[in-house]
Every structure is written in structure tokens, then in C-alpha cells.
Amino acid sequence: MDDDAHIRDVVSFTIRRAGLEVLEAADGRQALDIAESEAPDLILLDILMPELEGIDVCRAIRRTSNVPILFLSSKDRVVDRVIGLDAGGDDYVTKPFSPRELLARVHAMFRRIDALEAGDRGTIESGPLRIDTGARLAYLDDEALPLTRTEFGMLATLARHAGDTVDRETLMRGAYPRRRVVSDRTIDSHIRRLREKLRAVGADPIRTMHGLGYRLSWDNRKGVP
């Protein structure tokens, strides 16, 4: 999330090449809207942005979320770093930066998240679905599913309760263990994308239980939309 299109291009290319999905914002207001509607797993945030400065965006996000935030900034004074970290940032990289260093910082932040969630490791099996919670990998008939961390958390939660209806609060805890508030619309959006990825490999096991939540069921391989 940076107002400099060139910086956004460099960051997006670097992150996508590592196999991660990227959402871009050109100003602080758009960044905050994306953070609230999409609930990303990690946020790269420039400090000097139009509409709303990065520090203010960070403070607004911290009212409802513990998502990791890495600041990118041309300001390299100690006081600027302190302000960014005091606002709720988790790390701080100064411009110009090496794409390799940036990617290393991103991977380090994800490793810290994994360490916090390390107590939940093992294998979940449901029908043709196999989930390795330690490696964070999911397979359908031994074919790997290209899931984001959020989609993985939701699918693992549904698989743990296969055959039962899972409400949105339970899905939220499974997908966002470090966050406090995520809207129903955001959860529904991630479920929609998860369904699309399952349908792409010939399965549609997620059922909508209107007004209640979702259910994973293999009684019909194609499931019920």
C-alpha cells in the first residue's frame, strides 16, 4: 500500500513471485478500506500517503485487528521508527530497500505467526481431502490446493467439523486466530473464493446453511451450492 506506482510494482512483483497473493492501494483511505473488507494476512504500509497517512491507517486497523503490519518509509530517523512501532507496526523498512530484504522480512513475520499457532499441528482427513496443519498444505485426491492462509484456516476449520454446521464466529476464529473483528461479508467473500478453488479441481463440498453458517459434506461429491 503505497502512493508511488513504481514502488507498488516492485513490491507486488516481489511478493507475487514468492507465491503470495497481493492487493494494492494507492492512498491511505483505499488501504484502510481494503484492510477492513479483505482482512489480509499481512500489510505493507507506506507512512507518507495521500488521503490518510500510514500511521493513522495503522492506528485505525489496530482498533479491530492484530494483523502484522510492516512499514515502508523514506523516513529513517530513530524517532520515525519509534512512532511507527508505537502506532502498532510490527517492523519497519526504510527506502530504498532491497526486494530480497523485503521478502526476507515478510517471511520472518509469517514465521512468527506460525510460531504463535504451532500448537495446532497434525493431519485432518475428510473424504478425499487431506490437510497438513503443520505444513499448511491441503490436498484433494493428492492434488495440492493453492490456498491463501485465510482460505486454509477456513477449510481446516470446516474439515475439523465435517458434517456439522460451522457458524461464522467459529470460522473467524479458525481463519484469523490473531484478529478480533472480521465482518460476515469478509468471511462470505473468502468462502466464495475457496469454493471456486475447490470447483476448479472438480469438488463442491461446501454447503451454505442459510442464517447459520457453512457445512463441509462429501455425501455428494459435487456438493450443494
Considering 66-70, 196-200, 219-223, the range whose residues carry the highest mean pLDDT is 196-200
Report pLDDT for 196. Answer: 92
Beta strand segments in 36-174, E: 43-46, 69-73, 91-94, 123-126, 129-132, 137-140, 143-144, 165-166
The whole-chain average pLDDT of the chain stands at: 83
197-208 as b/e: b if 16+ CB within 10 A: bbeeeebebbbe
pLDDT tens sequence across 70-93:
988 877 777 777 788 788 888 888
Count CB atoms within 10 A of the CB of residue 58.
Answer: 25
Q: Which three cell numbers, joined as nine digits, stand for 215? A: 457445512
Tell me if residue 200 falls in helix, strand or coil: helix
Residue type, 99: P
Secondary-structure breakdown of the chain: helix, strand, coil percentages, each rounded to the nearest 5: 45, 15, 40
Report pLDDT for 139. Answer: 94
**Quick one: pLDDT band at residue 2, thresholds 50, 70, 90?**
low
Do the bridges between strand 213-216 and strand 143-144 make them parallel or antiparallel, or are there none, so unpaired? unpaired
Do the bridges between strand 123-126 and strand 206-209 make them parallel or antiparallel, or are there none, so unpaired? unpaired
Straight-line distance from the first to the last Cα atom of the chain, in angstroms, rounded to the nearest whole number: 35
pLDDT tens sequence across 145-198:
988 778 888 999 999 999 999 988 888 877 766 555 556 777 888 898 899 999
**Quick one: pLDDT band at residue 222, thresholds 50, 70, 90?**
very low
pLDDT higher at 13 or 122: 13
Report pLDDT for 165. Answer: 93
Dihedral angle sign, alpha carbons of residues 110, 115, 120, 126: positive
Residue 33's alpha-carbon distances to 25, 55, 132, 145, 212, in angstroms, are 9, 15, 33, 28, 27
Q: Which residues, including other chains, have CB under 8 Å from residue 50's CB and lie 6 or more apart? A: 3, 27, 28
